Amino acid sequence: MYKKIFAIVAFFSLCTMNAQEMTFSQKVGKLMELVTAENVDNNQVREILKTLAIAPKEMKEGAMDYSIYDDFEGDTLYYIPYKTADEPRYSVEKLKQGDKLFYTLQFLISSEYTKDPLGKVTYKDKDYLYNTTIEDLMPYCTTPMSYKNGKGNNPESPLLSCVYTNPNSKRKLMYWVVCENKIGDKEKNRVKEIKIQSQELWR
């Protein structure tokens, strides 16, 4: 019995260490992969979310006794508490439909950066936990959304809007990134919001 407990503790410790070594954008990508797995391991999702709290804040979680989505049952809310509107934070809703899990994830951040002519990135705050660029987040755009006036990855738009598809399970997410400048800006930008949602919740 003790061996089993030790193995479980060791596994979660390893998951936490691996998560701490990833960049913010890599953690976003890993979360997208995890929440679209055929059988979601919510413990791994929680471990990554716990590494995304700016000290001294910690991730909070609470039971959800509501759902704004028809036919989906609220389960758990993971979030970072805040007092002012401009504080960086995230909120993640875990919902259920039978035995299957579905998620919405929202990150409100302020990752501001400039680029030199060679493309080298300099962040306004090099120690900011949520540092990322639109280029870092672009690879998770499996399929740009289509609109009458263009595509969801239009370089002249400040909004990236896409569908992410898990290559193994084929489950999908709606994926949006909001920037201050157009996403094709080669000199500077600020990533302000990332929103991710199980495709089934978007219908």
Which residues, at least 6 apart from 66, have a Cβ–Cβ distance to it below 8 Å?
74
The whole-number average pLDDT for the span 117-138 is 97
Tokens (6 digits) for 188 = 């500077």
So what's the pLDDT on residue 157?
96
So what's the pLDDT on residue 86?
92
Q: pLDDT for 160-201, tens place per residue?
A: 999 999 999 999 999 999 999 999 999 999 999 999 999 999
The whole-number average pLDDT for the span 48-52 is 98
Burial (CB count <10 Å: 0-12, 13-18, 19+), residue 195: middle
So what's the pLDDT on residue 20?
67
pLDDT at 2 over 80: no
Q: Domain range spanning residue 63?
A: 2-202
> Residues in the chain, how many?
203
The whole-number average pLDDT for the span 113-135 is 97
Residue with tokens 């997410």: 173
Mean model confidence pLDDT for the chain? 91
pLDDT at 21 over 90: no
pLDDT at 124 over 90: yes
Tally the domains of the chain.
Answer: 1
So what's the pLDDT on residue 3?
47
Band of residue 6 on the pLDDT scale cut at 50, 70, 90: very low
So what's the pLDDT on residue 18?
64
pLDDT at 1 over 90: no
